[in-house]
Each structure stands twice: as structure tokens, then as C-alpha cells.
């Protein structure tokens, strides 16, 4: 990855402008944090788009901006005369470069696919998604070919130069690639085959990277103003999580840091009768990792709820709420399991906030349906077991610790591909900073 990014840097211009690469990276980071709005150099120097940012010398900002404009990463807007003196010339991210993202989805209920999206540098989606199946047998070579086909199609859909390719890999597939030491091989093979930097991230880490840079449209400040926050994503048959420290994703030694999917949790006090089927494991079956029972991933997911109830998940979620029924109890047990896992993460990592991504039917359950029991049990467990509990704090000066967003099923893969694309810009900034 480093040599591919290095080719973009004009070391001679850096020397001529007497500016460090770290300063150039910081200026770029501040423009990214302000995107998609243009930002004057004086605001870049003051760091108004970030909370707690240190001030940069105005001369350094000017010289770094010259380097970034030469690299075609920034462009100047028309001059604005807002007050007496020299007109203000805002800067914004250039349209000369674009970002490509591919999400690899390999759930147990559908064919493995690679879904690609193009983004402008400011995070605006550019064009429709591209989808390619991963051929059988499913292995690293098939994965490499599918990602390549998607990326080549994306390249043909833009006149901009691709800064790089971000690949998001979900759940067990990411873990298996890490354990087999093939994650780096896949990244290097993509970099060589496509002739551009390639980054391979876990899907939830990619989502966390995007949240680091995302702004609240109303306040025009970071959506997560505190430097430390966490994420948990509940998907069809896996649970994944991420930890952000000082606005940087903490990946750990093998990229699996902060994972709570294989925590062993109690089954909870609910009376749940085992109804799992051989081809659809339920709560009492071994975790997919093959290393034990009672893992969070084997209790909280839609796939395990479906196996436990014997019904397709969405059908079970729409069933009438009945506190005495095993079906409603299954949702309560699954929700409590996830709540206990989240409580553990809150207590150990103590993040400023935690963003929980849930399927839409669980994040916004229809009143009177069994799915209501999931969210109710989840919130109850967080309040009961977390020392730092603020799941529903209404004080505007103290935002809630737990924030729940829904994952729209029909757009989940495209959304994840966009998050993977943002990782390219994040890694470029990190490389320029020397991290």
C-alpha cells in the first residue's frame, strides 16, 4: 500500500514549499472534515470543523494548500468578498479524483457477491452500484476475480482517476482471511492487478471510518464529536464491532480488536423451548466458529432467531407480540444477549458513545409485533448491566450513550461499499501523517 500512495506525492514540491507531509495531511484532513462544503484557509488554520483541533500557522496552511492543489486533491472556489481586505478563496475537495469501494457479502442464506460503488472525494455517491457474483468454489482466487471485475466496471464509469480501492469484508470471512494470513495477500494482489492502492477492512471497521469523517447536516459538526466512540453491527448471521480512539479506528494486532461476537453470554431468564432445525441452527447449537456454545453471535442474530423459531426472520418479526409465547421469548432472549454484549463493551472500553446498527425490523419494530421484545430486552440489559448507562438520556447537553440506526436491507451492500471507499482517503491521510 505504501509504495502505491508514495507515487502520488511530490517530494520536490514539498521541499520547495518548505512544508512537511504531516502538515499537508492535516490540512487535507480538515477539508475532508468540512466536506462537502468549501472552507476558507483561515478556518482550516483555526480547525473550526473539528472539536479540540490545534491551530495551524496560516503560512503553513497556505503552503500545504499549494501542494494539495498541485496534487489535484483540492481545488479553489471563486473568490468571495465578505469583508474589507483580500477576498476569501475557499478550498474544496477536487473532482479530479474518485474513490472506489467494494463490499463482499457472504451470508449463509445467499450466494456470495461483490457490490461496488463510486464516490467523489467528499463522499457523494457517483452512479449506480455494480454487482458481480463470486464464482464457486468460493476461495481467495474467486474473491480476487470478482472484486477485480467490479472495480474494472467502476473504472469505466468515471472520468476521474481512482485514488484507490477500498474493500469491505464481513463477519466470518474477514476472520478466516485474517487467521489464514491471506488478508495481506488479497490486498497486495489487488494492488498489483489494478495498479492502485487497495485497502481491505472488516465491514464494521469501514463503517466506523466513515463515521469518523461524517458530519451532522444540521450542526455542520462531527456526528460523533467525542474522540472516542464505538460501533456494533448486527447482520444476518454475524455480529461485529469497532472501537475508535482519538478519531482513529483501533484494529489491534490482527484487525480483530473490539470484537464482541464471540463473547459467551448467559441465555437470559426467558423460557425458550429448543426448536432449532438441523439446517437452521438455533440458540442451543454451537457457534459457527466451532469453539463453543452461548456465543453472542449464536444468540442475537436474525439467522439464529429464524432457526430457533422455525420461521423466516421477517415473518417471525411480524408475528403478534405475546409475552407467553416461545416466539416472543426468542426475540427477548436474542435482544438481551446483544444488550449484555454491548454492556461489556461499554464497561471495558468506556467510549463516549456507541452506534448500534440493526436490521430495520429490529431498530424500528412495529408496535404489537414480536420484534418489539428484542429492542425492549436490549435496552433493559444495557441499563441493568452497564455501569455507564445512558441509553435514553433526554438531556440535550448530555447526548445518549447508545444510538440505534437501522440497516435498510435493500441498500445495505451499497452502503457498505461506500463506507469501504471512504477508507481509501482515510488510509491516504494516515500514510501522509506517517502513521
Q: Residue 246 — left, alpha, or beta (φ > 0 → left; ψ -120 to 50 → alpha)?
A: left
Instruction: Return the pLDDT at 258.
Output: 85
Highest mean pLDDT range out of 1-10, 211-220, 237-246?
237-246
Tell me if 314 sits within 8 A of 361, measured CB to CB. Answer: yes
More confident residue, 130 or 389: 130
SS3 category, 204? helix
Write the pLDDT tens digit of every residue in 5-14. Answer: 888 887 888 8
Residues of the chain with CATH 3.30.420.40: 97-208+413-429, 227-389
Average pLDDT, the chain: 88
Residues of the chain with CATH 1.10.10.10: 2-94
The single residue listed with the C-alpha cell 439467522 is 303
SS3 category, 299? coil
- 316 Cβ contact partners less than 8 Å away, ≥ 6 residues apart: 305, 306, 309, 327, 330, 331, 370
Instruction: Return the pLDDT at 83.
Output: 59
- CATH among 3.40.50.12780, 3.40.50.150, 3.30.420.40, 3.40.640.10 for 97-208+413-429: 3.30.420.40
Q: Which residues are bridge partners to 295 per DSSP? A: 264
Q: Which residues are bridge partners to 407 per DSSP? A: 359
Write the pLDDT tens digit of every residue in 63-101. Answer: 999 999 999 999 998 776 665 556 678 999 999 999 999
Measured CA to CA in angstroms, residue 33 lies from 159, 212, 228, 377, 383 at distances of 25, 9, 16, 36, 33
**CATH fold for the domain made of 227-389:** Nucleotidyltransferase; domain 5 (3.30.420)
Measured CA to CA in angstroms, residue 288 lies from 143, 293, 295 at distances of 21, 9, 9
User: What nine digits make up the cell of 337?
Assistant: 444477549
User: What nine digits make up the cell of 385?
Assistant: 448491566
Count other C-beta atoms under 10 Å from residue 84's C-beta: 5
Tell me if 284 sits within 8 A of 295, measured CB to CB. Answer: no
Assess if CATH 3.40.640.10 describes domain 2-94.
no
The single residue listed with the C-alpha cell 444476518 is 236
Highest mean pLDDT range out of 40-44, 176-180, 263-267, 282-286?
40-44
Instruction: Return the pLDDT at 273.
Output: 54
Write the pLDDT tens digit of every residue in 310-360. Answer: 999 999 999 999 989 999 999 999 999 999 999 999 999 989 899 999 999
Can you tell me the distance from the alpha carbon of 83 to that of 66, in angstroms, rounded to the nearest whole number?
24
Amino acid at each position: 500500500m505504501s509504495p502505491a500512495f508514495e507515487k502520488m506525492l511530490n517530494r520536490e514540491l514539498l521541499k520547495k514549499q518548505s512544508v512537511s507531509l504531516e502538515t499537508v495531511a492535516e490540512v487535507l484532513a480538515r477539508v475532508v472534515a468540512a466536506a462537502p462544503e468549501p472552507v476558507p484557509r483561515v478556518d482550516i488554520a483555526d480547525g473550526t470543523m473539528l472539536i479540540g483541533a490545534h491551530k495551524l500557522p496560516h503560512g503553513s496552511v497556505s503552503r500545504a494548500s499549494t501542494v494539495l492543489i498541485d496534487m489535484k486533491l483540492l481545488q479553489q472556489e471563486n473568490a468571495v468578498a465578505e469583508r474589507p481586505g483580500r477576498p476569501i478563496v475557499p478550498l474544496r475537495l477536487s473532482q479530479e479524483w474518485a474513490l472506489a469501494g467494494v463490499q463482499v457479502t457472504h451470508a449463509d442464506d445467499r450466494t456470495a457477491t461483490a457490490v461496488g460503488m463510486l464516490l467523489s472525494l467528499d463522499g457523494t455517491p457517483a452512479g449506480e452500484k455494480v454487482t458481480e457474483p463470486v464464482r464457486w468454489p468460493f476461495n481467495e482466487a474467486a474473491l480476487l476475480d470478482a472484486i477485480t471485475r467490479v472495480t474494472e466496471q467502476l473504472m469505466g464509469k468515471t472520468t476521474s482517476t481512482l485514488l484507490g480501492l477500498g474493500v469491505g469484508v464481513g463477519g466470518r470471512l474477514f476472520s478466516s482471511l485474517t487467521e489464514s494470513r491471506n488478508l495481506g495477500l488479497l490486498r497486495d494482489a489487488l494492488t498489483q492487478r489494478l495498479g492502485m492502492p487497495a485497502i481491505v477492512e472488516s465491514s464494521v471497521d469501514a463503517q466506523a471510518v466513515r463515521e469518523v469523517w461524517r458530519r451532522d447536516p444540521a450542526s455542520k459538526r462531527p456526528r460523533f464529536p467525542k474522540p472516542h466512540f464505538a460501533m456494533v453491527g448486527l447482520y444476518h448471521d454475524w455480529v461485529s464491532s469497532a472501537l475508535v480512539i482519538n478519531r482513529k479506528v483501533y484494529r489491534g494486532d490482527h484487525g480483530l480488536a473490539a470484537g464482541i461476537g464471540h463473547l459467551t453470554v448467559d441465555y437470559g431468564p426467558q423460557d425458550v423451548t429448543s426448536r432449532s432445525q438441523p439446517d437452521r441452527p438455533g440458540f442451543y447449537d454451537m457457534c459457527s466458529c466451532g469453539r463453543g456454545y452461548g456465543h453472542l453471535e449464536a444468540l442475537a442474530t436474525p439467522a439464529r432467531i429464524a432457526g430457533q423459531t422455525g420461521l423466516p426472520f421477517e415473518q417471525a418479526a411480524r408475528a403478534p407480540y405475546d409475552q407467553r409465547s416461545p416466539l416472543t421469548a426468542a426475540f427477548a432472549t436474542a435482544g438481551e444477549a446483544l444488550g449484555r454484549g454491548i454492556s461489556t463493551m461499554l464497561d471495558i472500553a468506556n467510549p463516549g458513545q456507541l452506534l448500534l446498527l440493526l436490521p430495520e425490523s429490529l431498530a424500528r419494530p412495529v408496535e404489537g409485533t414480536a420484534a418489539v421484545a428484542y429492542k425492549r430486552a436490549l435496552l433493559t440489559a444495557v441499563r441493568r448491566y452497564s455501569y455507564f448507562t445512558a441509553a435514553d438520556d433526554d438531556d440535550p447537553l448530555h447526548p445518549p450513550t447508545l444510538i440505534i440506526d437501522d440497516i435498510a436491507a435493500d441498500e445495505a451492500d451499497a452502503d457498505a461499499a461506500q463506507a469501504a471507499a471512504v477508507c481509501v482517503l482515510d488510509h491516504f491521510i494516515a500514510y501522509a501523517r506517517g502513521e
